[in-house]
A and B are shown apart, each in its own frame.
Chain A
Amino acid sequence: MIISQQKPLADILASLGDSNSVFIVGCAKCATVCKSGGEEEVWQMQEALISSGKSVTGSVIIDEACHMLRVGRDLRGRQQLVDDADASLVMACGAGIQSVSAAIPKKTVAGLDSLFLGNIRRFGQFEQKCSLCGECVLSETAGICPVTACPKGLLNGPCGGMDEGRCEIDAEAECAWAQIFTTVRETGRIANLAESVPPKNYSKIPKPGKLKLK
C-alpha cells in the first residue's frame, strides 16, 4: 500500500492561492487506510477550506485514484461540479493526483505527501519493508530486505556503526544485518552471508517505470 500523509493546511492554501472554488478528490484505497484522503478527511478538508474563506463545489472519493480510466469516468460523472471549481485538490498519492491532473485541464493541487510503499503493522502503524528495487534479493537474505531495512541499503553485511545489533542511525531499530543474522540462527533459513554480493543493477529500475503485460 502507498503510505501518504496530509500536507499542512497552510501549504495547501498557499498552493491554492487565488483559486477560490475547489473540487476535492479523495481515494477509497490507500489514502483511506492512511487516514489522509478518505471520506472523513475529505469532509474535514472541506470544512477547513470553507473556514479559510474558500468555497467547495463538491467532492468525490474514487475507488483507487491511481486507476486512470476510473478517475476519468468518475470525474465526468460530476462534470458540472468540476467545471465550477477553479482548482481541484487531490487527497491521494502522487499517482492518484496525476490521474486527476491528466483528466482535468484545470489547476490541480496536491493535498498529500506520498511517503513509501508500506506494510500495515496494525491500524495506523505502517512500516516500509520494500523499496521496489526492481531485482528482489529476499531469497538470499533470509526473507528480510537489506535494501530497505538498512538506511544505506548495504548488501554485504553491517556497516561500522552497528553495535549490539542496533542501527547506527536509530538506536531503537535493529540493524538490518543483525535481523538477517538472527533470523538465520533462529529459523535455519538460508542467507548468503559469506559471499560477496555484486553491486545492484539499477538499470532494472528505469525511471519512469513501465510495464505492459503481454
Chain B
Amino acid sequence: MTALLSKFEQKLMAGSFVITAEVCPPKGCDCAAFIRHAEALSGMIDAINVTDNQGANMRISPLAASALLLKSGVEPILQLTCRDRNRLAIQSDLLGAAALGIRNVLALTGDHISFGDHKEAKSVFDLDSVQLLECMKSLAAGVDMSGKKLEGTPSFFAGAAAAPEAEPFELTLFKLQKKVAAGAGFFQTQAIFNSGKLARFCEAVAPLGAKTIAGILLLKSAAMAKFINKNIPGLKVPEEIVQELADSADQAATGLAIACRLAREVKPHVNGVHIMAMGREEVIPEIVDAINN
C-alpha cells in the first residue's frame, strides 16, 4: 500500500553495497528459531531472503514467515515461485504481501517438484518468472491480470534470479533482458565460483540497469559439495573447490575460508553479496566481516 521504498531498496539504489542472506523458514509452525536467526543477523545485513518451499521441500508459507520477520523488525525479501500457485494464488499472495507491508519480492520459476519431498504432487507453472514479474508490474499499476481494477494499489521492489555461470550464456541473457524489461530491479545470482564468468555477466547486465547481488555459497565439506552437485539444480561446485575441501583437515573451516575468499573476490564487480549459509547461519558474521574489511 505504501509506496515507501524499503531500506534494502534505498541502499541498493543509492549505490551502497548491500548484503543479504537466505534463511530457510521452518517445516512446521514454530518460527522461534527462524526469527532468532534472522534477528541475530539483522544488525549486519540488509535483508533476509525467505525461501519458498525451497528445492520443492514443503515448509511454512514464505508470506507468513516474511510477515513475522517484518514484525520483528527484520527486512524480508519474499521469494515467490510459480511452481505451487496458479495466477490467482500468485496475485492473492502478492496483494497479501503488500497489505502486510512486504515490499521486496524475488520472482522465481521454482525448482521442479521432482527434487523435493512431495514428488507425487502436481506442479503448477501457470506462469513463469518473466510472467510473474509482468503480473507484479500490472498489480502495481492498479489492475489485476485480467484488467480488473484493484482496491488499493500495491507496490513492490521486484527482483529476479540469475545463473551467471550457466552455459550457453547468450541463451540465458535473453531471459535476463526480459526480466529487467518486466520490472526486475535487482538480480540475486546463483552461487558464484568463477569471477571471470561473473564479470561477463555484470558487463552484459549493467546496461540493462538492474543491480547485481552475487550469491556466495557456504560449504561445510567435500561431501556436501558433491551432494549439492548431484541434487540441487542450478548449483555447481567446481572440482577444484571440492578438492580443496577434501584435502583439508578442517573442512568446515576451509569451507568458510573459501566463502570469505569468494565474497572478497566478487565484491568489486557487484552491488552486493547474497550469502547462502545452508543452515550454518551462525558463521555469516565472519563472511560479513570478510566483505567489509
Q: Do A and B bind each other?
A: yes
B-binding residues in A (CB < 8 A): 151-165, 168-169, 177-178, 181, 193-200, 202
Stretch at the interface among B20-28, B176-184, B277-285: B176-184
Residues of A within 8 A of B174 (CB): 157, 193-194
Residues of B within 8 A of A199 (CB): 87, 126-127, 131, 145
| Distance, CA A196 to CA B83, complexed state (A) | 19
Instruction: Report B108-131 CB contacts with A as 1/0, cut-off 8 Å.
Output: 111110110000000101111111
Residue contact A158 to B87, C-beta cutoff 8 Å:
no
In the complex, whether B134 has a CB less than 8 A from a CB of chain A is yes
Residue contact A165 to B168, C-beta cutoff 8 Å:
yes
Instruction: Report B96-112 CB contacts with A as 1/0, cut-off 8 Å.
Output: 00000000000011111
| Distance, CA A200 to CA B124, complexed state (A) | 12
Residue contact B233 to A168, C-beta cutoff 8 Å:
yes
Residue in A closest to B166 when the chains form the complex, CB atoms: A163
| Distance, CA A153 to CA B129, complexed state (A) | 12
Between A and B, 30 residue pairs with Cβ closer than 8 Å are A152-B123, A154-B109, A155-B128, A156-B128, A157-B171, A157-B174, A157-B178, A158-B171, A158-B172, A158-B175, A159-B109, A159-B129, A159-B233, A159-B234, A160-B109, A160-B161, A160-B162, A160-B233, A161-B163, A163-B163, A163-B234, A168-B112, A181-B168, A194-B174, A196-B131, A196-B134, A196-B182, A197-B130, A199-B126, A199-B127
Number of A-B contacts (CB under 8 A): 100
Which 9 pairs of residues, A with B, have the shortest CB-CB distance? A161-B233, A157-B175, A168-B233, A156-B130, A160-B234, A181-B171, A160-B163, A154-B128, A193-B174
The A contact surface, by secondary structure, is loop
Residue contact A161 to B171, C-beta cutoff 8 Å:
no
| Distance, CA A95 to CA B130, complexed state (A) | 37
In the complex, whether B221 has a CB less than 8 A from a CB of chain A is no
| Distance, CA A129 to CA B66, complexed state (A) | 40
| Distance, CA A204 to CA B118, complexed state (A) | 29
| Count of interface residues, chain B, beta-carbon cutoff 8 Å | 39
Q: Chain B nearest CB: distance from A178 CB in Å? A: 6
Residue in B closest to A181 when the chains form the complex, CB atoms: B171
Contacts A156-B130, A169-B233, A194-B177 supplied; 9 other A-B pairs, CB < 8 Å: A157-B130, A157-B174, A157-B178, A162-B163, A163-B236, A169-B112, A181-B170, A198-B131, A199-B127
Question: In the complex, which residues 208-240 of chain B have their Cβ closer than 8 Å to any Cβ of chain A?
Answer: 233-234, 236
Q: Chain A nearest CB: distance from B60 CB in Å? A: 23
Q: Chain B nearest CB: distance from A137 CB in Å? A: 13
Residues of A within 8 A of B168 (CB): 165, 178, 181
| Distance, CA A155 to CA B163, complexed state (A) | 18
Residues of B within 8 A of A178 (CB): 168, 171
Residue in B closest to A154 when the chains form the complex, CB atoms: B128
In the complex, whether B42 has a CB less than 8 A from a CB of chain A is no
| Distance, CA A156 to CA B112, complexed state (A) | 16
Residues of B within 8 A of A197 (CB): 130-131
Residues of B within 8 A of A153 (CB): 125
| Distance, CA A142 to CA B15, complexed state (A) | 41
| Distance, CA A198 to CA B146, complexed state (A) | 12
Residue contact A157 to B172, C-beta cutoff 8 Å:
yes
Residue contact A196 to B171, C-beta cutoff 8 Å:
no
